[in-house]
Amino acid sequence: MQNILAIFLGGGTGAVLRYLTGIFMLKNLSVNLPLATFFVNFAGSFIIGILYVFFIDKPEINPALKLSLTVGFCGGLTTFSTFSLELTEMIKNSQFLHAGIYSFLSVIVCVMAVYAGVWCAKFI
């Protein structure tokens, strides 16, 4: 139960920060690109990379804290951070074919899924 609460708190914090980043960027930047999304994806990926290295050989750190910061905060800030970490692990382990397939499926197929969802919603 402690892990679930930790993820809940971290996730809520990350999601609120993502929302506030979007508001800030809309108010202060006049660029026709989704910079807020790019920024949180970059920041979440960078943060989860630091946390991964920091936590990897430290079993003494409370598992709930690890989950709160990685699954919770980084996941709430952006799910792209988890995708990036998983892809990094595959490359690190020389699983290049898996990494390529995973990248393709995660980006191309999921974008196609959005289009399919939009198409299906027209009939609801």
Q: Mean pLDDT per 10-residue run, the chain (124 residues)?
A: 97 96 90 83 91 89 96 91 89 95 90 89 85
Structure tokens at 116: 């399919």
The 10 Å Cβ neighbour count of residue 81 is 28
- Please indicate, yes or no, whether the overall pTM of this predicted structure exceeds 0.75: yes
Phi, psi of 61 (to 5 degrees): -75, 135
> Apex CA 99: angle with CA 44 and CA 94, to 5°?
105
Q: Give residue 80's pLDDT.
A: 87
> What are the phi and psi torsion angles at 100 (to 5°)?
-65, -45
pLDDT at 3: 97
Distance CA 105, CA 79 (A): 15
